[in-house]
Structure 1
Amino acid sequence: MAIAGVVLLAKSVKLTTKFTNVLEIPSEFIEKNVKLRGRLHQITDQGFEIEHIPITIPIISSLQKRWHADGLLLVRLAGVELAPGGTIWLKSEIKPSQMMWFQLLERKDSVLHCLVVIKKGRFSSVCLNEEILRQGLGKTVNIEGLAHESRIYWKLHKRLLQAELKAVKKHKGIWKEESFIEKLREHITNNKYLQKLKQFATWLRTRL
């Protein structure tokens, strides 16, 4: 019982520790895809700069040695390749100091790749990974850090693909631009065909 109590206390200390550096986060947190919460400081081309806000437990508050430590975590949207307008859209939609939850999927080069969720209103929330795809401001890519044969990988990848498909069907964002380019190419091709047809008609008249 004493050993179990020590293990439980150790886990509680980790959950209530304020992480100020990506490398401080325990490996088991990444492996178990733990959800953390934080406050947004700013959005850059590199990702979200988030201040980790740990869970508070009054009983062990005296053990929270790093509560007042400074430092921000760099978080990116897992499974998403942002289009040029994606960062601009995020800055316009998300308020400074916005509280958000980020589910850990991978840690790479001091960057966390996560599912990022924010509240919209009192009773609803939005997954930014999916929303950016629904707006046509990104493309789905492999979710790094998850085994491709794992259940969680296909569950998340399916959600992202479904969000992207909605933008494709509605010709939103980058899909609208690609649709325009396709039409332009078709128009140019048709013009070339008409020019050749006119040339043939002119040649035919000279032979009559």
Structure 2
Amino acid sequence: MPEPTRETETEEVVSDRRRRREENQNQPSRNVVSVVSQFADENLSLVRNISTGLALAGVIVIARSIKLITKFQAACDIPARFIERNVSLRGKVHSITEKGIEVEHVPIYLPVLSPLLSNHKEGPTSPLLVHLAGIDLTQEGRLWLQKNLTPAQTVWLKLISREGNMLHCLVSQSKQGTMWSFCTNEELLRLGLARTAPIAGVPPDSRLYWRLHRRLHRAEVKAERKGRGLWKEANLWERTSKALRDSPLFRLMRGIFQRTE
């Protein structure tokens, strides 16, 4: 009978030693956790400042990588992915020229980040040269632009393609006195002040090309049906006069009278 008792006592001693050994092994990790927790409690404001700094640094890195608040002063400055995704940029009208619309890019402004990430010092800026994608302007259309796109007016440029220093865009502007905006490309077509044209820089077999072409063509058809602008039909007297002037009999009679004079 004494032998089982000794075995039981031996097992208890072994288990007790094992438990003490495990407690000793876990003691350093518990001490580290308690020290860190105590430090965080005593320096709560410091921990918050460090977290804020890390978050701000992350935002700066992301903003730099996606050029969130970069001011573009040339078409080549715009990343290719902006063109591929047809990103819209905000700008202010600088002037209307024979080549197109000169627009100064206005990037997104963030009170803290913009001064930190700005690569351009205050001074003269170079505007972007913008062509209205998919249309050919008439002279009347250019005059309409000069009247309706005044300097410093805010516009939105939907990037379609890029050729050299020229950006082909859908240009949107706000209606006066309202919060609504309209596409200038379509408006010129609806008024009969432009014709549809091939969309430069976009493959003709792409979905983007045909989607834009259908959109612009619908606006042109409206002007044609209503007889606006270059689709305006001459009245009966003008058509009759033109037909008489172009007739062979009229030209013959005019030639006879010129000989007799």
Q: TM-score range by the shorter chain?
A: 0.7 to 0.9
Structure 1 equivalent of residue 85 of structure 2? 32
CA distance in 1, matches of 2:93, 2:117: 25
What is the TM-score with the length of structure 1 in the denominator? 0.80
More strand by share: 1
CA distance in 1, matches of 2:89, 2:70: 11
Contact 2:63 2:69 in 1 (8 A): no
Contact 1:133 1:167 in 2 (8 A): yes
> Which residue identity does 1:117 align to in structure 2?
S
| Greater gyration radius | 2
Mark the CA change 1:185 to 1:31 in structure 2 (over 3 Å): closer, same or farther: farther
CA distance in 2, matches of 1:185, 1:79: 36
CA distance in 2, matches of 1:42, 1:35: 20
CA distance in 2, matches of 1:48, 1:143: 17
Percent of aligned positions that are identical: 42
Q: CA RMSD in A?
A: 2.9
What is the TM-score with the length of structure 2 in the denominator? 0.65
Contact 1:17 1:67 in 2 (8 A): no
Structure 2 equivalent of residue 199 of structure 1? none
Q: Return the match for 1:128 from 177, 184, 204.
A: 184
Q: Return the match for 2:108 from 55, 59, 64.
A: 55
CA distance in 2, matches of 1:130, 1:190: 36
SS in 2 for 1:159: helix
1:84 equivalent to 2:117? Answer: no
1:110-150 deviations in Å (ceiling 9; x for gaps): 11110000011332111000011111111001112223233
Structure 2 equivalent of residue 171 of structure 1? 227
More helix by share: 2
Contact 1:130 1:163 in 2 (8 A): yes
> Which residue identity does 2:106 align to in structure 1?
I
Structure 2 equivalent of residue 159 of structure 1? 215
Contact 2:244 2:250 in 1 (8 A): no
Structure 2 equivalent of residue 205 of structure 1? none
How many residue pairs get aligned? The number is: 191
CA distance in 1, matches of 2:205, 2:121: 38
CA distance in 1, matches of 2:90, 2:240: 46
Name stretches of at least 5 consecutive residues in structure 2 with no aligned partner. 1-54, 252-261
CA distance in 1, matches of 2:250, 2:195: 37
Contact 1:18 1:67 in 2 (8 A): no
Name stretches of at least 5 consecutive residues in structure 1 with no aligned partner. 196-208
